[in-house]
Amino acid sequence: MYDFSQPEGHFSVGWGWKNFLWRLEDGKYYLDEETFNRIPAGFFQRDRKGELSYGYTDLILTAEAIKHEAWKLLSYRGLDHLGYFMKDFPDSKQRYEQAVWDSHTSLAAKNRGMTVTELLRLRLSSSTATDQEVVK
């Protein structure tokens, strides 16, 4: 699982899940595109086994915490520090809020059977009211 000498692999935050697929390309590590088709929008707990799983917004928040070396946010009780983190790093707050918006609007569009083109048109339109229709 953590043998990064291989051309691809995965890592998990919950138990038994392969949430985050990665690949090695030209000596750099990237998230595999399939990751974004597999992971949920955000944190949830599975009912069947009580397993925890983390999603896209958690990944963005983790990347921001690492970028700013905000290790308290990654600790066992890291959410206790979330408010301070958002206040101290407004750029990260903006990226996190954008990730929440992106993930939930794309899920809403998927649930409504919209095509990628329809979603892009919606997201690129200048009308805020149109964006609000997606999440209703």
- For every residue of 71-128, DSSP letters joined together read GGGGSTTGGGGHHHHHHH-HHHHHHHHHHHHHHHHHHHHHHTT--HHHHHHHHHSS-H
Q: Which domain holds residue 30?
A: 1-54
In a shared domain, residues 26 and 62: no
Check whether residue 37 and residue 76 sit in a common domain.
Answer: no
pLDDT class of 130 with cuts at 50, 70, 90: very low
Same domain, 71 and 118: yes
Residue 126: pLDDT band (50, 70, 90) is very low
State which of 35, 54, 73 marks the end of a domain: 54
72 shares its domain with 49: no
18 vs 6: CA distance, rounded Å: 16
Q: Work out the average pLDDT over 98-107.
A: 84
Residue 92 and residue 116 share a domain: yes
Residue of 95 and 12 predicted with greater confidence: 95
More confident residue, 49 or 87: 87
The fraction of the chain above a pLDDT of 90, given in percent, is: 12
Number of domains in the chain: 2
* 18 and 38 part of one domain: yes
Report the first-to-last Cα separation within the chain, whole angstroms: 40
- For residue 121, the model assigns a pLDDT of 83
Q: Same domain, yes or no, for 105 and 89?
A: yes
What is the model's pLDDT at position 46?
57
Which of 54, 69, 97 represents a domain boundary (last residue)? 54
Do 33 and 93 have their domain in common?
no
pLDDT digits (tens, 9 = 90+) for 29-73: 888 888 777 677 776 655 455 555 667 888 888 889 888 988 888
CA-nearest of 87, 98, 91 to 56 is 98
Do 40 and 83 share a domain, yes or no?
no
Say if pTM beats, i.e. exceeds, 0.75.
Answer: no
Whether residues 32 and 50 share a domain: the answer is yes
